[in-house]
């Protein structure tokens, strides 16, 4: 079977750990040239070194998706190093779980800035390059929290459903030269939980992860599947979760 990923240039945000790290490694193993972005420079450099040690190609930059200029800088890094950009995986995200009437306004703003505006900034940085090339692929990492609405996840789910809506609108607006895919992971074993400030919620999430969490590599495989399709095939939505998850 032809490897349709080999040689493609792919940006991954939130690439220092978890799903982002697993995705970067998997793409590099399939021959992609990966551009890693996240806030933790040391971890990014470690991941780049790991990829290069295994024969892959990678560069990185410390970025904060809350700053649109950082996403532009990351896209420029890809183009300057590899001459083009084939896909961007908007993976960076955060979660603060609490009742809405607890009024964690600071947590709301952080989720909106990272989960929603960060994705839009990534799209805004990549789309001009994609238009110039007349090809490109946007992959937005969403969440099953936006599919099954439950207490304590209201604002988090809201940011994820906003990304789902934007992704579908873009798909309808596109002439097909720029494809878009939404991937909604369920419970995944990552250090994402460390961002949660509410200790009770953190304990609950950790328990669920221990009981049924799937590996971040499972989500990376979904990204591989979406990117590996021929140019005339668009994978719109992928939901991937533990078999035991309700």
Give the model confidence (pLDDT) of 198-222 as tens digits.
Answer: 676 677 777 777 778 899 999 999 9
Q: How many domains does the chain have?
A: 1
| Residue 44 in domain | yes
CB 186 within 8 A of CB 160: no
**Pick from 138, 158, 139: which is nearest to 147 by CA?**
158
| Residue 246 in domain | no
- Residue 4's φ and ψ, nearest 5 degrees, are -85, 5
Distance CA 4, CA 7 (A): 8
What is the mean pLDDT of the segment spanning 220-233? 96
Residue 245 predicted with pLDDT over 90: no
- Residue 167's φ and ψ, nearest 5 degrees, are -60, -45
| Residue 2 in domain | no
- Residue 186's φ and ψ, nearest 5 degrees, are -90, -140
pTM of the complete model: 0.94
Residues forming beta bridges with residue 196, ordered by sequence position:
none
| Residue 128 in domain | yes
Which range is least confidently modeled, 67-71, 131-135, 142-146, 191-195? 191-195
CB 56 within 8 A of CB 34: yes
Provide the residue range defining the domain that includes 84: 9-238
Distance CA 47, CA 122 (A): 21
> Is 156 one of the catalytic residues?
yes
Q: Which residue shows structure tokens 């800035």?
A: 113
| Residue 42 in domain | yes
Residue 116 predicted with pLDDT over 60: yes
**Pick from 195, 211, 217: which is nearest to 19 by CA?**
217
Number of Cβ atoms within 10 Å of the Cβ of 243: 7
Structure-token pair, residue 21: 């790290």
Mean pLDDT score of the chain:
94
- Residue 211's φ and ψ, nearest 5 degrees, are -75, -40
Catalytic residue, candidates 82, 121, 156, 225:
156
| Residue 102 in domain | yes
Class of residue 120 by CB neighbours under 10 A (exposed 0-12, middle 13-18, buried 19+): middle
| Residue 204 in domain | yes
CATH of the domain at 189: 3.40.50.720
| Residue 4 in domain | no
Give the pLDDT band (50/70/90) at residue 191: confident
Residues forming beta bridges with residue 10, ordered by sequence position:
34, 87
For Cα atoms 153, 113, 68, give the angle at the middle one, nearest 5 degrees: 150
pLDDT of residue 1: 46
Structure-token pair, residue 115: 């989960």
How many residues are recorded in the chain?
Answer: 246
Residues 6+ apart with CB under 8 A from 237: 181, 182, 183, 184
């Amino acid at each position: 079977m032809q490897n349709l990923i080999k040689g493609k240039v792919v940006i991954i945000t939130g690439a220092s750990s978890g799903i982002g790290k697993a995705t970067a490694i998997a793409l590099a193993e399939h021959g992609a040239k990966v551009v890693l972005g996240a806030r933790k420079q040391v971890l990014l450099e470690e991941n780049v070194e790991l990829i290069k040690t295994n024969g892959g190609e990678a560069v990185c930059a410390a970025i904060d998706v809350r700053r649109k200029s950082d996403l532009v800088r990351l896209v420029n890094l890809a183009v300057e190093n590899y001459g083009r950009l084939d896909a961007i995986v908007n993976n960076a995200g955060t979660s603060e779980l609490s009742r809405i009437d607890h009024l964690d306004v600071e947590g709301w703003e952080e989720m909106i800035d990272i989960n929603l505006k960060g994705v839009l900034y990534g799209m805004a940085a990549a789309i001009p390059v994609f238009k110039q090339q007349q090809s490109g692929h946007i992959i937005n990492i969403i969440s099953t929290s936006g599919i099954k609405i439950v207490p304590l996840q209201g604002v988090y789910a809201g940011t994820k459903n906003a990304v789902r809506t934007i992704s579908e609108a873009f798909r309808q607006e596109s002439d097909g030269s720029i494809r878009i895919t939404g991937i909604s992971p369920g419970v995944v074993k990552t250090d994402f939980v460390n961002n949660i400030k509410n200790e009770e919620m953190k304990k609950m999430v950790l328990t669920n992860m221990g009981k049924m969490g799937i590996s971040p590599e499972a989500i990376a495989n979904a990204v591989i599947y979406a990117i590996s399709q021929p140019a005339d095939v668009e994978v719109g939505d992928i939901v991937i979760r533990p078999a035991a998850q309700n």
